[in-house]
């Protein structure tokens, strides 16, 4: 049967979206759709919501653009290995060393930290399990967890303690089905930095409850008052951890979609999980390459 021989129906059947998307929200971008409508009605809108430094007069350094342009001209436009090209992996290992992370087991390149988050959560949780995420949150985490059908388990950041994680609240919320904890340090949206003592306390708690720590450090070079950044994995070399980093903010190229993960901790403890992450990395071929 061809399309033209099909009898036209007066009523179109709706193609519904998967029901697991019902609770997927990404407040920042969802709000942008509303703002677009308001702009269409002729109103002026100041876009203070999307964290794109290029919208606020920052410029990508020309030598970075030249390097990518040269790579493309030199024919580096094919697929890369699923973890990333060797030069990038070496550079990420160098970055891990500068951050004081000594127990690195694996590094991999992703299409932005957004993909690192998606991969790392997908590789961890089974139905009925959960991951502790900070509140107020950066909405990517809850969006991915909702997509995976995972119940949200948010812990408080304490405004009266410079927005440090509220340890008592974390302790209250850990259950036998909790598999991991997300730290965003420096934090979005609060801008706070975790103290060394806080990182040590989170490490102790993670160790005691057998949790993997996802330490999102995408803003580690953007601390404006000069306070040194302390990488979680540097104070907790034995605790299973994936440190997230990327080029979007620190190197002013959010549109290039380049991020990475650094897996560290006790070797035996992270082996099976790392294999799972690599299976997912292979399943999506590779990240952006040139």
Ligand X SMILES: Cc1ncc(COP(=O)(O)O)c(C=O)c1O
* Closest CB to ligand X among residues 131, 140: 140
Q: Which residue from 134, 180, 240, 254 is in contact with ligand X, where contact means CB under 6 A?
A: 254
As measured in angstroms, the least distance from the Cβ of 36 to ligand X is 19
Q: Which residue from 134, 165, 180, 246 is in contact with ligand X, where contact means CB under 6 A?
A: 246
Binding mask 1-40 for ligand X (x = CB under 6 A): ----------------------------------------
* Closest CB to ligand X among residues 103, 116: 116
User: b/e string for 249-261 if b means 16 or more Cβ within 10 A?
Assistant: beebbbebbbbbb
Query: DSSP characters for 248-270?
Result: TTTTS-GGG--EEEEEES-HHHH
**Rounded Cα distance, 115 and 191, in Å:** 22
Within 13 A of 31's CA, how many CA atoms are on the CB side?
A: 10
As measured in angstroms, the least distance from the Cβ of 250 to ligand X is 10
Strands 153-158, 212-216: parallel, antiparallel or unpaired by DSSP?
unpaired
As measured in angstroms, the least distance from the Cβ of 140 to ligand X is 6
Q: Which residue from 24, 32, 35, 51 is in contact with ligand X, where contact means CB under 6 A?
A: 51
* Closest CB to ligand X among residues 84, 254: 254
Distances in Å between the Cα of 112 and the Cα atoms of 10, 118, 125, 247, 255 are 44, 10, 21, 8, 9
* Closest CB to ligand X among residues 103, 164: 164
Q: Is 17 left (phi over 0), alpha (psi -120 to 50) or beta?
A: beta
Mutual orientation of helices 140-147 and 112-122 as an angle, nearest 10°?
A: 40
Query: DSSP characters for 130-167?
Result: EEEEEES--THHHHHHHHTTPPPEEEEEEGGGTTEE-H
Q: Which residue is nearest to ligand X (CB)?
A: 112
* Closest CB to ligand X among residues 114, 234: 114
Strands 212-216, 241-246: parallel, antiparallel or unpaired by DSSP?
parallel
As measured in angstroms, the least distance from the Cβ of 139 to ligand X is 9
Binding-residue total with ligand X (CB under 6 A): 14
Q: Which residues contact 283 (CB under 8 A, 6 or more apart)?
A: none
Binders in 100-119 for ligand X, by CB under 6 A: 112-114
As measured in angstroms, the least distance from the Cβ of 9 to ligand X is 42
**Rounded Cα distance, 213 and 217, in Å:** 12
Q: Are the beta carbons of 250 and 232 closer than 8 angstroms? A: no
As measured in angstroms, the least distance from the Cβ of 113 to ligand X is 3
**Rounded Cα distance, 278 and 272, in Å:** 10
Binders in 122-151 for ligand X, by CB under 6 A: 138, 140
Binders in 213-242 for ligand X, by CB under 6 A: 216, 218
Binding mask 166-195 for ligand X (x = CB under 6 A): ------------------x---x-------
Using CB under 6 A as the criterion, which residues of the chain lie in contact with ligand X when the complex forms? 51, 112-114, 138, 140, 184, 188, 216, 218, 246, 248, 254, 259
């Amino acid at each position: 049967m061809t399309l033209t021989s099909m009898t036209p129906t007066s009523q179109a059947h709706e193609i519904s979206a998967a029901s697991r998307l019902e609770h997927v929200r990404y407040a920042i971008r969802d709000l942008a759709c509303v703002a677009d409508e308001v702009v269409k009605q002729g109103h002026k809108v100041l876009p203070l919501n999307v964290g794109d430094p290029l919208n606020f007069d920052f410029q990508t350094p020309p030598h970075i653009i030249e390097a990518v342009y040269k790579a493309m001209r030199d024919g580096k436009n094919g697929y890369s290995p699923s973890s990333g090209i060797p030069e990038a992996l070496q550079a990420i290992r160098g970055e891990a060393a500068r951050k004081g992370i000594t127990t690195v087991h694996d590094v991999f390149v992703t299409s932005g930290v957004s993909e690192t988050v998606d991969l790392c959560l997908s590789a961890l949780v089974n139905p009925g399990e959960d991951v502790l995420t900070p509140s107020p949150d950066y909405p990517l985490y809850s969006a991915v967890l909702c997509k995976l059908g995972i119940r949200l388990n948010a812990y408080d950041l304490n405004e009266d303690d410079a927005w440090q994680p509220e340890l008592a609240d974390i302790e209250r919320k850990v259950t036998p089905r909790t598999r991991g904890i997300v730290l965003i340090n420096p934090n979005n949206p609060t801008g706070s930095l975790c103290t060394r003592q806080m990182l040590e306390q989170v490490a102790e708690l993670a160790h005691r409850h057998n949790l993997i720590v996802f330490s999102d450090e995408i803003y580690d070079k953007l601390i404006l008052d000069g306070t040194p950044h302390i990488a979680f994995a540097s104070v907790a070399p034995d605790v299973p951890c994936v440190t997230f980093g990327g080029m979007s903010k620190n190197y002013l190229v959010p549109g290039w979609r380049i991020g990475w993960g650094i897996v560290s901790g006790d070797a035996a403890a992270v082996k099976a999980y790392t294999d799972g992450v690599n299976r997912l990395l292979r399943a999506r071929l590779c990240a952006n390459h040139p």
